[in-house]
Amino acid sequence: MEPKKPSFFSTRYIQFLGGRNTVFTLALLLFIGLVIMIYNEISFIFVPLTVFLGNVILPIILAVIIYYLLRPILGLLEKIKIPRIWGILIIFLLLVGLVTLLVFLVFPFLKSQSIRLVEEIPFYFMQLIESLDGFLRSSAIFSDYYLQMETDITTVLNDLPTEIGQFFQSTLTGIASGISSLVGVLTSFILAIVTVPFIVFYLLKDGEKLPKYVMKLFPPRMRDDLQAVFTGIDKQISSYIQGQILVSICIGFMIFIGFSIIGMDYALLLGVIAMVTSVVPFLGPVIAITPAAVIALVTSPFMLIKLAIVWTVVQFVEGKFISPQIMGRSLHVHPITIIFALITAGSLFGVPGVILGIPGYAILKVIVSHFYVLFKKRYNKYEPEVENQYEYTNNKVD
């Protein structure tokens, strides 16, 4: 009997790479590459869909955030036997009252502080530059290098008016050509704000039924897995949004109290800035501390020391007590991973990417993790039993 000729899949190299599975994987990658190439050639067909998604995505994101913030309140109202529709109406009335209170009591004060800060920013920066100039001139280490650079700086300042004129000329040209796009963006934003309450209403009314409607579109054997994916995504988004908002409010309140104690100017405004920017992990505190550091540095060196003490205490309390209690470890995302996710999402989608990068990564992690579990189940199904694995391997070699 002639020996069986070795096939392409039985060669050592292909067996080392995985045999037929390797060829299948390479063919799948080739198919994905062809799909991407074809899409690039006919991408103009999808322009209406892109425009539609661009106009719809903002109100949906805002509505989802508000929905996850209001859902626990609606649950509490239902526990005390208030019907869902009446609970939603009560929540909306409370929101209208809260917004009205903020507009008439808090917003005017923040507006006056913001206008005053904008007007005084040039003064703060001029004082900062003058202080830095005096330090560099009197420094025994940096004075020689600084005096050598002074000639170049003077040349730049002399040429500055001409460059500013050219800059404003090109800027006005760009503004004139971009007015129509600006009007379009403002129109889309206003429509988004108007449609958000309606989307929130229907999400609160029927949001819990939405996964069931989606699962009906899939075969029955897939519905248990889809239910697990939807449950994981819902848990991740809910934990992140509710926890991050509460943590941000606590940070803003502590910053306001601390700055008021040390006598920092614009304490309320800086607290609101810290609260808003704290939504973005790692980058938010850096953005929030910058205007406060400039104001403190111009005021006095001692104020800068007091600012550092307040900021250190706030970050310590937030990191050791507030975030672990509110956020817990629900996301299970390593800090290094968060940094890379923020950098990647910011490069791809700008500011919205920075804000939504972490919850987006958490959702993607849930989906990939579940598919990996399914892959392991399938892989183990076609693998020999562990107790027979040695015998199976020997028979295969023979």
What does the domain layout of the chain look like in residue ranges? 46-139+171-206, 218-380
Structure tokens at 142: 């940096």
Please count the residues of the chain.
398
Amino acid at 143: S
- In whole angstroms, how far apart are CA 101 and each of 62, 70, 91, 254, 368? 21, 19, 15, 22, 44
pLDDT tens figures, 314-331: 888 887 777 766 665 556
370-396 as b/e, with b when 16 or more CB fall inside 10 Å? beeeeeeeeeeeeeeeeeeeeeeeeee
What CA–CA distance (Å, rounded) separates 237 from 330? 10
Structure tokens at 236: 């991740």
What CA–CA distance (Å, rounded) separates 195 from 202? 11
For the full predicted model, state whether its pTM sits above 0.85: no
Low-confidence ranges of the chain (pLDDT < 70): 1-22, 54, 128, 130, 132-189, 324-335, 351, 378-398
Does residue 274 contact residue 252 with C-beta atoms inside 8 Å? yes
DSSP strands (E only) in 95-210: none
pLDDT tens figures, 200-233: 888 888 878 888 888 888 788 878 888 888 888 8
* Cβ count near 176 (within 10 Å): 9
